[in-house]
A and B are shown apart, each in its own frame.
Chain A
Amino acid sequence: MPTWAQFVLLSAAKSVVVIIILLTAVAYAVWLERKVVGRMQNRWGPTRVGPFGLLQPLADGIKFILKEDIIPTNVYKPLYIAAPMISVALALMSIAVVPFGEQLRFGSFSTPAQITDVNVALLVLLGVTSVAVYGVALAGWSSNSKYSLLGSLRASAQMVSYEASLGLSLIGVLLLSGSLSLREIVNGQSGTYFGFLPRWNFFPQFIAFFVYLTAAFAETNRIPFDLPEAETELVAGYHTEYSSMKFAMFFMAEYTNMFTVACVGTLLFFGGWHGPALTFLPMVVQSFVPLFWFAFKIFLFLFLYIWIRGTLPRFRYDQLMAFGWKVLLPIALANIVLTSLYIGLTTP
């Protein structure tokens, strides 16, 4: 087999494996959310399907496919169908540049634990995020329903407003690492400060992390920024008119985006796959320890998402817009100026 065919096959295989794992993880993130929020509200969450309700995601998936697929009369059909596809496809795109660990070894064969390592990985992520607005905007517009249109206008305006702060919050990390490659950013965080504190960007850049986290919550339309689908005023926001699998696709896109946010947060601020070496484990599993740390940090991020959902109420829309522009943006700018001043003064 020629080398290029091997290369294409290997990367396609990697993509398939990563997408399958990601979609499974997304399904179980929904289960985890229902379980945890259930316990926070003093109820059980799903218990009926399988032990601890573990088969619930499977049951939900089957139900979504079997449900009647309604396309209302007044919708603009091509875009109405395209919108959920855009949302899901773009959500699944960003995982391609995320590194999960160093090298994966299976006997003599080894390959980087990443679909592809590009020089401008962070910009690819930002590009995908910026184009993702269309899924929401077109869904609302093509539905030709008042709730949908209002929800999608709100959602798009919210997403672009917080995208500005999101983009600016990452610059503090870039000042420290001097690279846009996610792999190099993570490698710059190995080692420790003062011999005990992990050399994570979180410690010098905790302001940037706060801005990033807030902006990312708003980007993914999660509580406390879930205005676009504020049930009490807008029914279900931009996906009011969607049913069956198309509705599920928006849902999947939302949860996949949560994973992307968790991945980027882990890579940029929490040292990616770096963690204590677990030397007591046998050699066979040693190469998977970084993967474990990465997955563990992602889990903590997701738990934070769910915890906040169980705790905070929703913002009012004017508060939300004012917060994004008047609070987050100035903080992000100030952080850039301060960080660059410090680095400029201390670099010989």
Chain B
Amino acid sequence: MMHTVLFIIFAVVCVAAAINLLAQRHPINSALSLIVVMGSLALLYLLLGAEFVAAVQIIIYAGAIMVLFVFTIMLLNAGEEELSKSSRVAIVFGVPAVAVIVAALAYILSRGAGTAALGDFIGGPKEIGRLLFRDFLLPFEVTSVLILIAIMGAVVLARREER
């Protein structure tokens, strides 16, 4: 019961913040809305029993990636955006894509949702660790290469070579 109430509250917050993100004209407000989206997503994960993922969502997304966003807005001195007329790409591709997603969701929901009980699996750090470091070892090691590439990419993008 309480579970459902909490889910509805956080889901509404999440969707409202996402809509606010699009509606706001100042980039810093949009960035802050995105932080709220990340936070409420973390709470939704928490409700699903994924406590580790919820914490990571906060630390990485709300705490690290969004810091970069806010930094960029501060550094570039990004001001208010002007509302553009709706672009043609959005109408040609966006509207059909939304329709497809809605149709797919409606189809899946009409077939009846799954019956997995909540709280069967608690996604604590130990459970995640056992999966990650025993069963999914290769994906884990590949992440390090990904980080390496990202580091190099950041440096290359941020500074031009001295000529």
Contacts and interface: CB of A to CB of B under 8 A. Distances in A.
19 contacts: A4-B2, A79-B32, A118-B51, A120-B125, A126-B55, A127-B55, A127-B59, A131-B63, A133-B67, A137-B67, A137-B71, A141-B28, A141-B70, A141-B73, A153-B71, A153-B74, A153-B75, A156-B71, A180-B125
B58 A127 contact: yes
B94 interface: no
B47 interface: no
B17 interface: no
Interface of A: 4, 76, 79, 118-120, 123-124, 126-127, 129-131, 133-134, 137-138, 140-141, 149, 152-153, 156, 160, 180
B55 A120 contact: yes
Given A79-B28, A153-B74, A123 B55 contact: yes
B37 interface: no
B51 A119 contact: yes
Given A120-B125, A153-B74, A130 B52 contact: no
Describe A's contact surface by its main secondary structure.
helix
B19 interface: no
A130 B2 CA distance: 29
A12 to B, nearest CB: 16
A153 B72 CA distance: 11
B67 A119 contact: no
A149 B74 contact: yes
B35 interface: yes
A152 B75 CA distance: 11
Contacts of A180: 125
B96 interface: no
Per CB-CB distance, the 6 closest pairs between chain A and chain B, nearest first, are A130-B63, A123-B55, A127-B58, A127-B59, A120-B55, A119-B124
B59 A137 contact: no
B23 interface: no
A160 B67 contact: yes
A119 to B, nearest CB: 5
B58 A130 contact: yes
B35 A137 contact: no
Contacts of B125: 119-120, 123, 180
A79 to B, nearest CB: 7
